[in-house]
Amino acid sequence: MSKLKIIITGANGQLGRELAEWTTETAEIIGFGRNELDITSLPACRNIFTLHQPDVVIHCAAYTAVDKAESEPDEAFRVNASATRNVAVASREVGAKLCYISTDYVFDGTGTTPYNEYDQTNPRTVYGKSKYAGEQLVQTLHDRYYIVRTSWVFGKYGNNFVKTMLKMAGERDQLKVVADQIGSPTYTYDLSTFLIELVQTEYYGIYHASNSGICSWYDFAKAIFEDSGSNILLEPCTTADFPRPAPRPGYSVMDHSAIRSNGLNVLRPWREALNHYLKDSE
């Protein structure tokens, strides 16, 4: 049986790099960073996809500077919407399935029960609106797509909350972390495992993928310090204590109903994932 050929966009990013360096018996994976593939150019997307003839494109490239997007809406939409259109058009033309990585920011974060895949979206930030525009373009321009919304991503590549907390622990005696934003961390290793499994199926549609269980950023930080043996004094604070240009979702827990209903593997509890990450990065 021939191997599945997968192209990864955004291969220098946190998730993209994890995927680009993934080894699997069933797939050949080729990653393209910003320098090798300019997704904002439709001819560039067409050239690369025509040359490589992928079976699947996993579109990780994105504009992710949540606060900066508020003052650069055109740039956020150019990358998250228009460039996603280019990837959708070019992948469909070569007959490749498309997996688009989206975000919990497509919801308004005012919920009190986990969001499922068909709940009403209502993005409140430029970043969330631009990612949702990308989702809509994928749905209208491609006929075989997976949209995977994820949240609170951490892993061995790129900057993330876990790395920031470990760095702070080395520099300070005490720290305040917001305790009124609730969500689910997602480990890039576990998310990659899920994505590689998903794109080998015909189970198209929208998915919510994060590690199991919920916590606040404060709980998450507490676990990071406990499990890494740090003695920093940690105090809870509120979102109001740290005003940011883009409003943060108060509640961004996502229900994994599509993963369950399609009989796919639910991601392990976030604390287990955190421990795997900490051991792996020692």
72: in domain: yes
145: in domain: yes
87: in domain: yes
Question: What pLDDT score was predicted for residue 110?
Answer: 96
Question: Structure pTM?
Answer: 0.97
262: in domain: yes
Q: Write out the residue range of the structural domain in which residue 24 sits.
A: 4-160+185-212+252-268
Q: Is residue 127 among the annotated active site residues?
A: yes
Task: Give percent of the chain above pLDDT 90.
Answer: 95
How far is the first Cα of the chain from the last one, in angstroms, to the nearest whole number? 38
228: in domain: no
Mean pLDDT calculated for residue range 241-250: 92
Q: Are 207 and 259 in contact (CB under 8 A)?
A: yes
193: in domain: yes
Task: Pick the more confident residue, 150 or 26.
Answer: 150
Looking up residue 69, the CATH number of its domain turns out to be 3.40.50.720
For 67-93, give one letter per residue: b (16+ CB within 10 A) or e.
Answer: eebbeeeebbbebbbbbbbbbbbbbbe
How many domains in the chain? 1
Q: Which of 100, 127, 187, 189 is catalytic?
A: 127
Q: Are 234 and 175 in contact (CB under 8 A)?
A: yes
Question: What pLDDT score was predicted for residue 1?
Answer: 62
Long-range contacts of 279-282 (CB under 8 A, 24+ apart): 280/156, 280/189, 281/156
Distance CA 135, CA 139 (A): 6
Residue 226 has pLDDT above 80, yes or no: yes
Scan for tokens 């009190």, then name that residue. 112
224: in domain: no
Mean pLDDT calculated for residue range 178-187: 97
167: in domain: no
Residue 79 has pLDDT above 80, yes or no: yes
* Tens digit of each residue's pLDDT (9 = 90 or more) over 161-182: 999 999 999 999 999 999 999 9
Estimate the crossing angle of helix 83-93 against helix 126-141, to 10 degrees. Answer: 20
Mean pLDDT taken over the chain: 96
252, two tokens: 């961004």
pLDDT range class, residue 282, cuts 50, 70, 90: confident
Residue type, 196: I
